[in-house]
Amino acid sequence: MKGYLTVFLAMSLSILTGFILLLTGSAVKNAEKVRFESAVDTGMNAVLSEFHIGLLERYGLIYVDASYLGSKPSIANVEARLKYYVEENTVQILGKKNAPWGSLNHIQTEISSFDTAAAQMGASMRNQAVNYIRDKGIAGREKEAFDFMEEIQILNEMDPVGDWSRIMEQLCGIELPVIQNEKGLWEEVPLSNPADWAYGMLGSDILYLSQADFQSVNPAHIFLEDYISHRGINNKETKDRKFECGNEDFLSYLFEQMGCLGNVRNASLLDCQLEYIVGGKDSDLENVREVAKKLFNWRFADNFLCAAGDGDLKAQASAAAEDLLAVQLKEEFKDPVVQSILYACAFMESIGDLRVIYSGGMVPVRKSNHQMSVFHVLGGNLYSVGSEGGFTYDQYLACMILLENEVNVNLRAMDIMEMDIRFQDGNKYFAMDWCIERYEANMSAKDGSGNIYSLTRKYGYF
C-alpha cells in the first residue's frame, strides 16, 4: 500500500512540477511580450521627445528633424534612434545581473510610413500654425483684408498701365496735321500732349518714385534651388489625415512670425519675409519691388476709375485737349488725348498714394474722393496726397498674400523657415520635408526560446 502511495505521489509531483514549469514559462513569455510592448511605446514617445527646439521656439511648430542637426536627413536616422531606445529598455536591462527572467534580442525596426511638414504640399505645417495661433488668441488688422478681397480682385484684374500704353500707341499711329508756315512750307504740327511727361515716368523705379525707405533691407541674395519650393518636395504624402486650412488664422500666423518692410525680421537670410511670400524672388530688394509694382497697379486702377467717373475732371481734360492746335486741326486726336490726360491724373495720384503708404499712412482700397486735377498734369509736377482712413502697407500686403495660390504660400513660408533654422543652428541639411510629425513603425524581437514578437504602432503630435 505504501509502495502505491509513493508511486502516486512521485507521479503527482512530476505532473505538478511540469504544470508549474509550464505556468512559469508562460508567465515569462507574457512578461517578455508586455515588456516589449512597453519598450516600444516608450521608445516611440522618446523619439517624439527629440523635437527640434529651434523650430518650436522660433515658429511654434513641433517636428522631429530627421537630420538630427548634422547628417543628411533620412528615415534610417529615425529608425536608429527608435531602435536605440527600445534596446535600452529591453536588451540592456534584461542582460544585467539580477534582471528579471527572460531575454529579448535581435530588435528590428522599420518605419513603414510617416507624415512630414510637407504633407499635402505643406498642409501639415499650416495645420500646426493655425492651431498655434488659435491657442495664442492672436489676431491683427491684417484680417480686415478678407472684407475687401472682392474689390481687390476687381483692381487686380485691371491693367491700367497696359491700357494707357495702348492709348499712347494709338496717338502715335495717327498722322499729325500739317500747316503752312510763314515761308510757305508745309510742316507737321506736334501734338504736345501734356500727358507725355507723366507717361515717360512709367519706366522709372516705382520704389524711387514712392520715396520708400529700403536702406535697411538685407542686401543678401539667396539660392532658391536650396529651398523646398524649388528643389523638389520629398515626403508629401499622408494617410487618413485631414488638416485645418484656417485662412484667417494662418494669415495672422504669418504676420506674427515673419517680418516685412518697416518691421523687418533680423537673424535671417531675408528680412522682408512676407514680401518673399508674395514675390518669391531671391533678394529682399526684388521682393519689395515686386510688392511695390502690385501696389502701384491697384492704386492706379482705383484712381483711374475715380478719374473716369468724375465729370468735372473729364471736362478739365477735354478743355486741355481742345487747347492743343493739333486737336483743333484734327478732331481724331481729341478722345485719346482726353483719355491719356485722365490716365496721367490717375498716375500722379497713385504715386502720391504710394508715398503715403510707404511713410506709414493709410489709403482706402476704393476711394470716395481724390485730389486729381488736370492742372497738376499741365504743371508737370508730382504732388502730395493726404493720408486718410483705409489700408496700411501691411494690410495691402495681406491682400497680396491672400491672392497667392495656397500651395505657393505654404511652400514659400517653409522656405523662410528653412532659411531661419539653417541660419540659427548652422545645419545646412535641415529640410521641412524631413520634419516628422507622425510615424508608424513595425517592430520585432526574439526571446531566448526563439519566440518572435511583432508590433505595429503609430505615434505623433497631432
Cα–Cα distance for residue pair 347/307, rounded to 1 Å: 10
Cα–Cα distance for residue pair 148/153, rounded to 1 Å: 9
Identify the pLDDT of residue 31: 61
Q: What is the pLDDT of residues 328-354, one digit of tens each?
A: 999 999 999 999 999 999 999 999 999
Structure-model confidence comparison of residues 27 and 309, the more confident one: 309
Structure-model confidence comparison of residues 380 and 412, the more confident one: 412
Identify the pLDDT of residue 445: 83
Summary count for the chain: helices (H), strands (E):
19, 6
Identify the pLDDT of residue 274: 96
Q: What is the pLDDT of residues 147-173, one digit of tens each?
A: 999 999 999 999 999 999 999 999 999
Identify the pLDDT of residue 340: 97
DSSP secondary structure of 40-106: HHHHHHHHHHT--HHHHHHH----EETTTTTSPP-HHHHHHHHHHHHHHTTHHHHTSTTPPS--EEE
Phi, psi values for residue 457, rounded to 5°: -130, 150
Q: Is the pLDDT of residue 262 over 90?
A: no
The helix (run of H) or strand (run of E) holding residue 186 is: strand 186-188
The helix (run of H) or strand (run of E) holding residue 30 is: helix 2-49
Q: What is the pLDDT of residues 420-445, one digit of tens each?
A: 999 888 888 999 999 999 999 998 88
Average pLDDT over residues 126-134: 95
User: Dihedral through CA 84, CA 90, CA 96, CA 99, nearest 10?
Assistant: 160
Residue pair 448/103 in contact by the 8 Å Cβ criterion: yes
180: how many CB neighbours lie within 10 A of its CB? Answer: 9
Q: Is the pLDDT of residue 291 over 90?
A: yes
Counting residues of the chain whose pLDDT is more than 70, the rounded percentage is: 90
Query: 385: alpha, beta or left, given left = phi > 0 and alpha = psi -120 to 50?
Result: beta
Confidence band for 190, pLDDT divided at 50, 70 and 90: very high
Provide the 8-state DSSP code for 175.
P
Average pLDDT over residues 118-136: 95
Average pLDDT over residues 380-387: 85
Average pLDDT over residues 305-324: 95
Counting residues of the chain whose pLDDT is more than 90, the rounded percentage is: 67
Structure-model confidence comparison of residues 413 and 213, the more confident one: 413
Q: Is the pLDDT of residue 101 over 50?
A: no
Identify the pLDDT of residue 91: 66
User: Could you tell me the pTM of the whole model?
Assistant: 0.88
Q: Is the pLDDT of residue 315 over 90?
A: yes
Label the pairing between strands 435-447 and 452-460.
antiparallel
Residue type, position 129, single letter: A
Confidence band for 267, pLDDT divided at 50, 70 and 90: confident
Confidence band for 276, pLDDT divided at 50, 70 and 90: very high
Provide the 8-state DSSP code for 156.
H
Q: Is the pLDDT of residue 220 over 50?
A: yes
Residue pair 231/316 in contact by the 8 Å Cβ criterion: no
Identify the pLDDT of residue 258: 95
Cell numbers for 323: 487747347
Longest dimension (CA), the chain: 162
User: Dihedral through CA 170, CA 175, CA 179, CA 183, nearest 10?
Assistant: 120
Identify the pLDDT of residue 99: 47
Q: Is the pLDDT of residue 259 over 60?
A: yes
Identify the pLDDT of residue 428: 87
Average pLDDT over residues 231-236: 92
Confidence band for 245, pLDDT divided at 50, 70 and 90: confident
> What is the pLDDT of the chain when averaged over all its residues?
89
Q: What is the pLDDT of residues 49-59, one digit of tens each?
A: 999 999 999 99
Q: What is the pLDDT of residues 60-69, one digit of tens each?
A: 999 999 999 8
Residue type, position 226, single letter: D
Could you tell me which residues are beta bridge partners of residue 110? Answer: 442
Locate the domains of the chain by residue range. 31-120+431-460, 139-232+259-422
330: how many CB neighbours lie within 10 A of its CB? Answer: 17
Half-sphere exposure of 286 (CA within 13 A, CB side): 11
Q: Is the pLDDT of residue 103 over 70?
A: no
Integer angstrom CA distances of residue 353 from 239, 281, 304, 312, 390: 49, 25, 13, 21, 11
Q: What is the pLDDT of residues 8-36, one digit of tens each?
A: 666 667 676 665 655 555 555 556 677 77
